[in-house]
Amino acid sequence: MQNSNPNLVVSRVPGTWGSLLVLVGFMLIGMAVGNVLAVMALAIYLHADTESVTALLTRLFAEPEKIPDGWNALMIMQGTVHFFSYLLPTLIYWFYIERRTIGQFSADRRPAWPIWVLAFVLVLAFIPVNSKFIEWNAAMELPDALSGLEKWMRDKEDQLSVMTEFLTSYKSFGQLLIALFVVTLLPALGEEALFRGVVQTKLFRELRNIHVAIWLSAAVFSAIHFQFYGFLPRMMLGALFGYLYYWTGNLWVAVLAHFVNNGFVLVMMYLHNIGAVEINIEEAKSMPFILILASLVVSATILGVIRRNGHEGRTGLPHNF
């Protein structure tokens, strides 16, 4: 079928599913390369051979606090694997398969500065609402017939919780900056380019329903983290980023929202660790009902303003849409 838009560069891969399959292939290759490079980087950093590092990794994931320089080692591992698994494959796909530029992730019109401020405030305002989804998801129980699966999910969650607690136990400002780069900036760039810039767009083109595309890509975004007892709140955030991208026509607004969400948690954990605040934001407890209700009203109001601005002022959807 011939494209009626002369300004749109046709993908080298015919069809939505073919394009996504190529992207998945790039990701799998990137993941393999990233893991190998991460092991090599750790071997250099820890002054060990690759065999020793491979054995050390088992202990690092199980008891990271007992490994000398374990925090830095995990950051090196996570940053390297994430870059090669998400950001780099997406950019390679975008440049060499879609044959597009970074600018073509977004529409020609840039949102006015109040929209950026509203997106920033929205992420913080949404936290109390999402705390309820965190509580619901953490209390999830499967039927007895799936007890084996539930035990595996719980064990996986406990293992990840140990790592998360260790990685957020930092008390130095330098560690906070490293964490902001590895845990906040890299995921904000890589995951938004992948799940909103490519996956959401491709699904919308194929399904012709933006809501289905947003929620389906948000579900994939959440599932790929393999944190089953955090699936629901992460999917809600993915949908929030997806609507921000669609209504503003600008991927950088979604990147900002993602960065603020992750960064706020890391900063609050740092302030808690040094004793500046008593609140532990990582606790899976919902907030008072009145605060959740206020959060819901403020979040819905901000989303309404952003939506109206997008529909009234947008001259065109992102080049993707």
Q: Give percent of the chain above pLDDT 70.
A: 90
Residue 315's closest CA among 113, 112, 114, 107?
A: 107
Flag whether pLDDT at 98 surpasses 50: yes
* Domain coordinates in residue numbering, the chain: 1-100, 107-321
Q: What's this model's pTM, rounded to 2 decimal places?
A: 0.89
More confident: 42 or 5: 42
More confident: 123 or 312: 123
Task: State pLDDT tens for residues 222-247.
Answer: 999 878 888 999 999 999 999 999 99
Give the mean model confidence (pLDDT) for residues 112-141. 92
Residue 11: what pLDDT?
Answer: 44
Backbone conformation region of residue 15, classed left if phi is above 0, alpha if psi is from -120 to 50, else beta:
left
Nearest-angstrom CA–CA distance, 292 and 132: 8
Residue 311: what pLDDT?
Answer: 59
Task: State pLDDT tens for residues 156-180.
Answer: 777 777 778 888 889 999 999 999 9
Nearest-angstrom CA–CA distance, 296 and 289: 10
Task: State pLDDT tens for residues 19-42.
Answer: 999 999 999 999 999 999 998 888
Residue 6: what pLDDT?
Answer: 45
Residue with tokens 């992207």: 23
